[in-house]
Amino acid sequence: MSELQQRRVAAGAGLGLEIDRDRPLAFTFNGKAYQGYAGDTLASALLANGVDVVNRSFKYSRPRGVVAAGAEEPNAIVQLGASEATQTPNVRATQQALYEGLTARSTNGWPDAQRDMMSLIGKVGGPFMPVGFYYKTFKAPASMWLTYEKMIRKAAGLGRAPSEGDPDIYDHVHRHCDVLVIGSGPTGLFAALTAAKSGARVILCDEQERFGGSARDSDETLDGVPAPHWVAQIVERLAAMDNVTLLVRTTANGYFDHNFVTLHERRTEHLGDSAAMTGGRRQARSRLHRVRARHVVLATGAHERPLVYAGNDVPGNLLAGAVSSWIRRQAVRPGERLVLSTTNDTAYRAALDWQAAGGEVVAIADARANPEGAMVERARAAGMRIIAGSAVIEATTDRKGHRVNGARVAAVDIAGHRIDGSIETLVCDTVASSGGYSPVVHLAAHTGVRPVWRDDILGFVPGQTVAPVKGFHPVGAAAGVYSLGMAFDAIAEHLPAALAADGIALAPSAPPQLETLAQGEAVGLYHVPHDKPTMRAPKQFVDLQNDVTAAAIELATIEGFESIEHVKRYTAMGFGTDQGKLGNINGMAIAARCLGQTIPETGTTVFRPNYTPVNFGAIVGRHCGELFDPERYTAMHQWHVEQGAAFEDVGQWKRPWYYPRQKASGERETMHEAVARECRAVREQVGVLDASTLGKIDIQGPDAREFLGRIYTNGWEKLAVGKARYGLMCKDDGMVMDDGVTTCLADNHFLMTTTTGGAAAILEWLEIWHQTEWPELEVYFTSVTDHWATMTLTGPEARNLLSELTDIDLDREAFKFMEWREGTVAGVPARIYRISFTGELSFEINVQANYAMPVWEALFAHGDQYGLTPYGTETMHVLRAEKGFIIVGQDTDGSMTPEDLGMQWCVGYNKPYPWIGKRALTRSDTRREDRKQLVGLKPLDAEVVLEEGAQIVLDPKQAIPMRMVGHVTSSYYSPTLDHGFALAVVKGGHKRLGERVYLPMADGVTHVAEVVSSIFFDPKGQRQNL
């Protein structure tokens, strides 16, 4: 263990500000044990231990190392988790805080990233795997693509989901604020403080382990103190304000309409493999904050762009800024001998920090002819060799490609895209590069705003659509303002005014006092020329995550891809979790050069949510398991559960489907046996159904009757108080949308019932017509679905049983079919409706739901001698289908008129008002005689129960594809008829009674059925009138 943390440098001024050397942490990577410190990221800890190869690349399987220090990292994407259940794929090692016992593996590489077998393919296949390789190679036969894809994906290694259940929970919190500040660099902190001081509700979030952003690595002085100290002071002030919510380790992942932003807070990911219980209570591992902000301040800063040169993907090629971050934050100097290749001043900090941390700076290749600026002068003063007008054109490597071993440096002619003069080879183990900075415009782009190019800053900034997004304020580097002073001034000047327009008064806030360094002009260099043409030079990577090279982009343009969106799709540049953070600008610039265009002419691709991956747990929150979806229960639900009912989901309702009993043999009845028994009970004795789920709407007002006449197809003007009537509702296109029985309770008072599934929609339907078309009608609608518990007592013995429990005169003359009465049942005030959905003598008992159980139990207490049997929805379906009663949504599909259903008896063509649906029923199409019409089907083989949905043909011998004339809508076995039977829709079916039709099935069997009336049982309806 002599090499323990061999790249961790000794403590010193400005080194390792964020680690605690007194808190060593053990972790494993690819099965090997390492040690780091509290304050490390997994990436910095790996670098401290000299782990150069952390992964294999996606397509070519090349060894890859850590490149960046933040969310933009393309290579160090790992599989995290010490157990199967806690596996988390695609975690960026640069964003993962180290904790004791952390266990990670490379996402790519088999058996591991060091000894990767797939790289054999990469090496052999590399030159033969040009862009579009998969499209071109695996395109035929098309049916094989699924097979190819599986192999390719396995080889590519995209991380894997755990195969066991997640032990953790995740949740959501809804937040609202005046100002959401995304990013806690100096501009974000100042904006948050400016807003918060005046009492506005502020949320400040930052994706990193701590607040501060660029100030964490800054030499600048704010308000007289070093930048990291200033950060601590401001954060302390904000934390003390009760109008401020501070969210660290919280990524703003999506920016949606009207300033709705999703924030993914990693609450325990930095502490351990799984969230610990707190006091025996579960804590959410991560949390999704759904934030509605009035204003969004986008202070997301900028990402450094790497330079695109040959061999730029070999471990040891780093972003200049990342080098500074590791040295300053974690005292990790990831090499010995550095060559820096830069286009700007800021990157010089990497060389200065490298030297301060005891490393050797071999040379600085600066693409500018005359570098000047405070940082450049410091480097010169420190004795560093600066090679002006040049760049690293190639990083060389050993045979394995595991680490840089040299840099080829040459003078470059940027405009001519060629090298100028001789090439010098420098011995080094590290090449740091900086091609400038790209404002992080991803979130702005989520709103649909295309970024716009700014030549003065050599980058894209958030643009405007046809109108500005209200309350959206990009600031600082995210807006292309790299001068901190100017960024502060802009916030101080404009933020109060912007918020004042929304009634949020801000006191003026003085910008922090700054001491900054003078900077020289940067130069734009996106693709470093090589001594060989791009196509023949060693690979120059543009997008490291997706293995897209400069040559691939050139080839794409040569092959005719001219739109940047097409180039993106052809090459995969900026795909997936990367979303083009490092490579997009370089790639677009290369495409622009190849196409002879400017960058603005070429444009950008679209960045989409999520900015970085979000685990599914956080997206789902607590809407999983038992809380996945509401389960609606009736007042009798517990009774059904106790009886062992099987349940059916009807919308969100849980309805008893059937009640299997234990047979004499000790076995439970099958569904078929239970349903047959329940059907016989209703037809021969008496059954009871929990019908509480039926939609019920109370309708009051002097125009209630008129309203019903307009909304239903049939007439209501003559329905007397005390009577009920079945009604059909159509949409204005003439198609049936709902049905149900409506009762006249009093002259101005009706109770409408709707289908279980249609209750909410029908209430809205009534309201839309009342509110938008007929506001003059005096009528009000109120849902009473949940208020009434409804029990359908049905069967020949229904009257005898009920008469034992009620004070209502049930005599067939005193209480006729389609009437209602009020009284008590088992001592509970009730309304009873004498309506029938089974064809048998039926009484629907309605009581206030709190009193349902005493009534329900009283029925059973008295029901034994009558054979009272509870029945479920399946029996209800069989019984109603035997009677030819439709279920809207099962026997109809939005294309059936009342006449198609044979229900013209329910259409009042002579009603004075042109009711909803009437006009459409006279259109030529709705008058066609060959429309699909509802009929009964009787299979010739009594044993056959046709499949619902089975297609019907007239000639079974015709060639495939056969001409289909309809389909089965409902099909059951009838215990009463001892025969399978079905309802179906058949073209011109009403005129086909007695004909045979055929139902060819997938297994080759063709069923034969006779078209019959849709009423199979008691066609004269005598049984319900007993």
Partner 1 sequence: MTRVAYFDPHPAPTVPRQSPLHHMAEIAPTGDVAVTLREHAFRDHLNLRGEPGVLASAVESVTGLALPLEPQQVVFGDGTSLQWLSPDEWLLIVPGGEGFRLQRELRKALGDAHFSIVDVSGGQTLLSLEGEEAISVLMKSTVYDVDPRHFPVGKGVTSVFAKANAIIRRVDDTRWELVVRRSFADYCLRWLLDAGEEFGIAFQRAEHEVDAREAAPAGEAEMTT
Partner 2 sequence: MFYIYCPYCAEYREEEEFHPKGQAHIARPLDPMATSDDAWGDYLFFRDNPRGVHHELWVHAVGCRKFFNVTRDTRTYAILETYRIGEQPSVTADSVSTGSAASTATLTGVQA
The answer to whether the Cα torsion of 357, 361, 364, 365 is positive or negative is negative
Cα(257)–Cα(261) distance, integer angstroms: 8
Which residue, 655 or 696, has its beta carbon nearer to partner 2? 696
Cis peptide before 111 (omega within 30 of 0): yes
850 binds partner 1 (CB under 8 A): yes
What would the x/- binding string for partner 1 be over residues 576 to 615, using CB under 8 A?
----------------------------------------
Q: Where are the alpha helices (DSSP H) in 814-964?
A: 852-863, 873-882, 924-927
* 3-state secondary structure string across 945-973: CCCCCCEEECCCCCCCCCCEEEEEEEEEE
Binds partner 1 (CB under 8 A): choice among 852, 879, 896, 935 = 852
CB burial readout 693-729, b (16+ within 10 A) else e: bbbbbbbebebbbbbbbbbbbbbbeebeebebbbbbb
Under the binding rule (CB under 8 A), the answer on residue 652 touching partner 2 is no
Binding partner of residue 138 among partner 1, partner 2, none, CB cut-off 5 to 8 Å per kind: none
Task: Convert residues 243-282 into a mask of x (bound to partner 2 by CB under 8 A) and - (unbound).
Answer: -------------xxxxx----------------------
680 binds, among partner 1, partner 2, none (CB under 5 to 8 A by kind): none
CA nearest to 68, candidates 479, 593, 612, 507:
612
Cα–Cα dist 674/645, whole Å: 10
Among partner 2, partner 1, none, partner that 171 touches (CB below 5 to 8 angstroms by kind): partner 1
- Is position 767 an interface residue for partner 2 (rule: CB under 8 A)? yes
Torsion-angle region of residue 625: left (phi > 0), alpha (psi -120 to 50) or beta? left
Give the binding-site size for partner 2 (rule: CB under 8 A). 48
Give me the sheet containing 88-92, strands edge to edge.
Answer: 32-38, 20-29, 102-106, 77-80, 88-92
Distance CA 480, CA 494 (A): 16
Number of residues this chain uses to bind partner 1 (CB under 8 A):
65
* Residue located via tokens 């289909």: 964
Question: Beta 951-953 vs 472-474: how paired, if at all?
Answer: unpaired
Task: Report the alpha-carbon angle 959-960-964, nearest 5.
Answer: 100
Distance from the Cα of residue 887 to its chain's centroid: 34
Nearer to partner 1, 161 or 627 (CB): 627
Q: Which of partner 2, partner 1, none binds 470 (CB below 5-8 Å, type-dependent)?
A: partner 2
SS3 (DSSP) at 1017: coil
Report the residue from 395, 410, 412, 461 that binds partner 2 according to the rule CB under 8 A.
461
| Cβ neighbours of residue 977 closer than 8 Å, sequence gap 6 or more | 882, 1016, 1017
CB 411 within 8 A of CB 369: no
| Cα 673 → chain centroid | 43
Closest approach of Cβ 290 to partner 2, in Å? 8
Q: Among residues 164 and 747, whose Cβ is nearest to partner 1?
A: 747
Q: How far is the CB of 781 from partner 2 (least distance, A)?
A: 9
- What residues contact residue 704 under an 8 Å CB cut-off, 6+ apart? 748, 749, 750, 779
The listed partner (partner 1, partner 2, none) that binds 257, CB under 5 to 8 Å by sort, is partner 2
Q: Are strands 780-783 and 695-700 parallel, antiparallel or unpaired?
A: antiparallel
Q: What is the edge-to-edge ordering of all strands in the sheet holding 736-746?
A: 724-730, 736-746, 749-754, 695-700, 780-783
Is omega for the bond preceding 511 within 30 degrees of 0, making it cis? no
Residues 289-318 that bind partner 2 (CB under 8 A): 292, 297
The binder of partner 1 chosen from 355, 447, 516, 783 (CB under 8 A): 783
Residue 635 interacts, among partner 2, partner 1, none and using kind-specific CB cut-offs from 5 to 8 Å, with partner 1
Contacting residue, 32, 139, 258, 282, with partner 1 by CB under 8 A: 282
> Quick check: 769 binds partner 1 (CB under 8 A)?
no
Between 89 and 480, whose beta carbon lies closer to partner 2? 480
Sorted by sequence, the CB contacts under 8 Å of residue 203 that are 6+ apart come out as 175, 177, 179, 180, 181, 244, 245, 247, 263, 289, 291, 293
Q: Closest by alpha carbon to 529, among 342, 392, 407?
A: 392
Could you say which of 164, 455, 493, 515 contacts partner 2 (CB under 8 A)?
493
The residue from 565, 747, 811, 941 that contacts partner 1 (CB under 8 A) is: 747
Q: Which of partner 2, partner 1, none interacts with 817 (beta carbon under 5 to 8 A by kind)?
A: none
Q: Which is nearer to partner 1, 424 or 703 (CB)?
A: 703
Question: Which of 320, 331, 481, 830 contacts partner 2 by CB under 8 A?
Answer: 481
Segment lying near partner 2 (by CB under 8 A), choices 93-101, 348-356, 596-604, 765-773: 765-773
**Of residues 775 and 949, the one with the C-beta less far from partner 2:** 775
Q: Applying CB under 8 A, does 490 fall inside the site for partner 2? A: yes
> Rule CB under 8 A: which of 772-811 touch partner 2?
772-773, 775
- By CB under 8 A, tell whether 281 contacts partner 1: yes
Q: Which positions touch partner 1 (CB under 8 A)?
A: 171-176, 201, 278-284, 290, 292, 622-623, 626-627, 629-635, 638, 653, 693, 698, 700-702, 721, 745-749, 778, 780, 782-789, 822-824, 826-829, 847-854
Q: Which positions touch partner 2 (CB under 8 A)?
A: 256-260, 292, 297, 448, 461, 464-470, 473-475, 479-481, 486-487, 489-491, 493-495, 497-498, 732-733, 764, 767-768, 771-773, 775, 914, 918-920, 922-924
